[in-house]
Structure 1
């Protein structure tokens, strides 16, 4: 049986978080970053994520770090405080084990305690695995921004999927 643990990320986890994030850049369908990021570049991002408001969790599978999930402010203006953006990243060696589903559900269950009523995710239209995961979990398309990014010479649509957390049941 697989033992899954979620632990609030610390500065010591940042090299792992950055490494997993950087794994996705060459695919040109997961993130809008075009070149690898550094630990130093991501430190302000980590420090801005307060565990009582917008946590980052490192996901452990059988005692090994397998990925991370974060809830980030959707928008800096105050009225949007009830909405957070979710991001999930899984180390290649731990993909296709059902972790993505568990990560999203974990964040959904934590959201109400954080004052979050809506979760959104921003996914490139070409990222079919992520779109499939979130649609399977009840996220609906709340909008599409056509051809807003250029990755590897291709124009990409950005899909905005969302879910009202008050509808989430255990």
Structure 2
């Protein structure tokens, strides 16, 4: 199924939150243990910037208003300006669109677009049990940079967190 993406709008925030919340019960994609609200994500959405830290929504080709997933370029670590050359990616997909190419599309587009945002390095943390996400990122040239043992407790299930990253643009050579 071919996918596209576009810049998220305020009208997309409820769909973004629904997609994020759909990932919480499986305990493999986020360390949130309870659903989040649209109100709790409003500041996150409002502080995203198309020219620096955009949020994109994925959609099926020919249906750009239907949100099938999203990707956000997040501040790295604590968001201090010295880290502005690095973006922390977050990718979440609607359950009906997982494993169908949406994640690969969004991630490939993010890698190509990152230099336009002044980003030289992309990184993300993934729960070690999420082999699908780890495989997706590794297939796109990310490498494991480290493993944080036992740092997540998901209702009594202790998880390692894997840090992956890759250079982009001219630094990717």
- TM-score tier by shorter-chain length is over 0.9
Partner of 2:33: 34
Measure, in 2, the Cα distance between the counterparts of 1:77 and 1:68: 24
Kept in 1, the 8 Å contact 2:3–2:101? The answer is no
Kept in 2, the 8 Å contact 1:71–1:84? The answer is yes
Partner of 1:160: 163
Q: Tell me, what secondary structure is at the counterpart of 1:126? A: coil
Partner of 2:73: 71
Q: Tell me, what secondary structure is at the counterpart of 1:28? A: coil
Partner of 1:116: 119
Kept in 1, the 8 Å contact 2:152–2:159? The answer is yes
User: Could you tell me how far 1:152 is from its partner in structure 2?
Assistant: 2.2
Q: CA offsets per residue over residues 17-52 of structure 1, 9 Å max, x none?
A: 000000000011110100000000000010111111
Q: Tell me, what secondary structure is at the counterpart of 1:26? A: coil
Q: How many residues align?
A: 168
Q: Which runs of 4+ in 1 moved over 4 A?
A: none
User: Could you tell me how far 1:3 is from its partner in structure 2?
Assistant: 4.6
Kept in 1, the 8 Å contact 2:19–2:69? The answer is yes
Partner of 1:88: 91
Measure, in 2, the Cα distance between the counterparts of 1:30 and 1:3: 24
Partner of 1:11: 10
Q: Tell me, what secondary structure is at the counterpart of 1:27? A: coil
Kept in 2, the 8 Å contact 1:122–1:161? The answer is yes
Kept in 1, the 8 Å contact 2:12–2:67? The answer is no
Instruction: Extract unaligned runs of 5+ from structure 2.
Output: none
Partner of 1:142: 145
Give the TM-score, by structure 2 length.
0.93
Measure, in 1, the Cα distance between the counterparts of 2:27 and 2:97: 20
Q: CA offsets per residue over residues 43-98 of structure 1, 9 Å max, x none?
A: 00101111110000011104132111111111311111100011111101111211
Measure, in 1, the Cα distance between the counterparts of 2:2 and 2:104: 15
Kept in 1, the 8 Å contact 2:4–2:105? The answer is no
Q: Tell me, what secondary structure is at the counterpart of 2:84? A: helix
Q: Tell me, what secondary structure is at the counterpart of 1:109? A: helix
Measure, in 1, the Cα distance between the counterparts of 2:24 and 2:2: 29
